Amino acid sequence: MIATARIVTERLALDPLVAHDADEMIRVLDDVRLHAFVGGRPLALAELRNRYARLFAGAPDSAEIWHNWVVRKRADGAAVGTVQATITVETDPHARVAWVIGVPWQRRGIATEAARALVEWLIANGIERVEACVHPDNLASVRVAQGVGMQPTDQQVDGEIVWARAR
């Protein structure tokens, strides 16, 4: 099993998420615009604390491994988003990744920089195939998927296109 490690890029640090990150992330995530394509609504602090506690505890099903990171700017340590990877443990392990960056920090290449480092970390750790589910109208996320070397497949999940990059 791969342990969630700190990943450092030129501008960013991806720090393994812990339950108390909710107290900082609530300000980053409290924006309905972040839900335009992914559904749902911003969580209240108590809900976010519960969610992060569950994420930190890990997947209840041994067929999956959950990895979650807070994306921080190295310059000042401020949290600006999260990235996650769900690894499905099979003969050929594969991962499904997702990304969210708070509105004030968008359009600065942060999601692409974080996602690229995440995908490279997964591949370096033996993952054969990395996937992301992206709504076809979510142009920013389409660009991130392209930017990390993924290509659209003919698979769809709940109206989203599965993008993939093989090892």
Ligand X SMILES: CC(C)(COP(=O)(O)OP(=O)(O)OC[C@H]1O[C@@H](n2cnc3c(N)ncnc32)[C@H](O)[C@@H]1OP(=O)(O)O)[C@@H](O)C(=O)NCCC(=O)NCCS
Member of 138, 149, 152, 162 binding ligand X (CB under 6 A): 138
Applying CB under 6 A, the span of 22-30, 45-53, 57-65, 108-116 interacting with ligand X comes to: 108-116
Residue number, 13 or 98, with CB nearest to ligand X: 98
* Rounded least distance, CB 159 to ligand X, Å: 12
Per-residue buried b or exposed e for 61-91, using 16+ beta carbons within 10 Å of the residue's own CB: eeeebbbbbbbbeeeeeebbbbbbbbbbeee
Residue 132 exposed, middle or buried by CB count within 10 Å (0-12, 13-18, 19+): buried
Q: How far is CA 87 from CA 35, 50, 62, 70, 136, in A?
A: 24, 22, 10, 18, 23
Member of 12, 29, 79, 111 binding ligand X (CB under 6 A): 111
DSSP states of 94-108: EEEEEEEE-GGG-SS
Member of 108, 151, 157, 166 binding ligand X (CB under 6 A): 108
Applying CB under 6 A, the span of 9-17, 50-58, 62-70, 133-141 interacting with ligand X comes to: 133-141
99 contacts ligand X (rule: CB under 6 A): yes
**Residue among 85, 102, 131 nearest 35 (CA):** 102
Q: Which two tokens stand for residue 97?
A: 């990744």
141 contacts ligand X (rule: CB under 6 A): yes
118 contacts ligand X (rule: CB under 6 A): no
140 contacts ligand X (rule: CB under 6 A): yes
User: What residues line the site for ligand X (CB under 6 A)?
Assistant: 34, 37-38, 98-101, 106-112, 132, 134, 138-141, 143-144, 147
